[in-house]
Amino acid sequence: LGLLPQFVNSFFFLPKTVKKIGKAAFPVVGFYGLMTLPIYGKNFLPGTGTMLDFELLRERQSPNEYLIAPKSSCPQFNGSTPLDDGQPRREEAPVFPVGVDELQSIFIESFKRRYALESFAEPTLVNKTKRQYVYVERTPLLRFPDIINVQFISLDENRSTLVIHSGSVFGYSDLGKNKQRLTEIISSLSNIPWTLKRATVQV
C-alpha cells in the first residue's frame, strides 16, 4: 500500500510531462517537417525553387548562391556582388572533351553518387529540349533545401560545357555552401578519365 500514492502521483503527473516534451519538440519537428516537404524545386510556390531562365538570371541581393557558366552565358548575371568571403559569386565553366550527350549522361550518373539513396537524386523538373534539369540538395544537418539548375551546352561534336547554378531557399548567407557544392561537382567531372568514358558510356 505504501507504493500506491507514488503510483497515483506518477499516473497523474505523466500526461503533464508528455505535454511538456511535446511542446518542446514541436518546433523541432515542425522545422524539419518544413525543410523536408516535397515542394522544393518544383515551381510549387513562389520562392520554393523553379527552373531558371539563364538568359534573364540576375544575381540576388543576398550572397546565398553561386554560378559556374561560360562567359557568353547568363549575360545579366555579372557576379560583381561578392560572397561573404569577398570572392566573386561567378566563375567560368570548363570545356569538356566530349559531346553534349556524353557530358549530360556522365553528369547525371556522377550526381547520383552524391546521395545515399539514388531516388533522392532524381530531378524535380526537366526540359529535354533545353537539356536543363532542376535538382534539390539539402545541407547535411539542418536539411536546408538548395536548388540546383544545370544546363548542358554543345560546342561541337567533341566538346561541350554547362551552366550550373546553386541557390539557397532559406537564409541570407549560405556560409559558402553553394560555392563548395558546385566546386565539388565540377571537380568530380574534371577528374573523370574521359578517354575511357567514351568507350563505356551509352547515351
Cell of 70: 561560360
pLDDT at position 85 is 85
Q: CB of 158 within 8 A of CB of 97?
A: yes
pLDDT at position 155 is 97
pLDDT at position 16 is 61
pLDDT at position 199 is 37
- Give pTM, 2 decimals: 0.79
Q: CB of 54 within 8 A of CB of 74?
A: yes
Cell of 69: 557558366
Per-run averaged pLDDT (10 residues), the chain, 203 residues:
49 53 56 60 85 96 95 92 89 95 93 80 94 90 86 96 96 92 92 52 36
DSSP symbol at 146: E
Burial of 81 (0-12, 13-18, 19+ CB in 10 A): middle
What is 72-131 written as a DSSP string? TS-TT----S--TTS--SEEEPPPBSS-HHHHHHHHHHHHHTTSSSGGGGS-SEEETTTT
pLDDT at position 21 is 54
Contacts (Cβ under 8 Å, ≥6 apart) of 97: 158, 159, 194
Q: Which of 127, 135, 145 is nearest to 107 (CA)?
A: 135
Q: Which of 128, 131, 115, 194 is nearest to 164 (CA)?
A: 131
Q: Which amino acid is at 92?
A: E
Dihedral of alpha carbons 10, 14, 16, 20, sign? positive
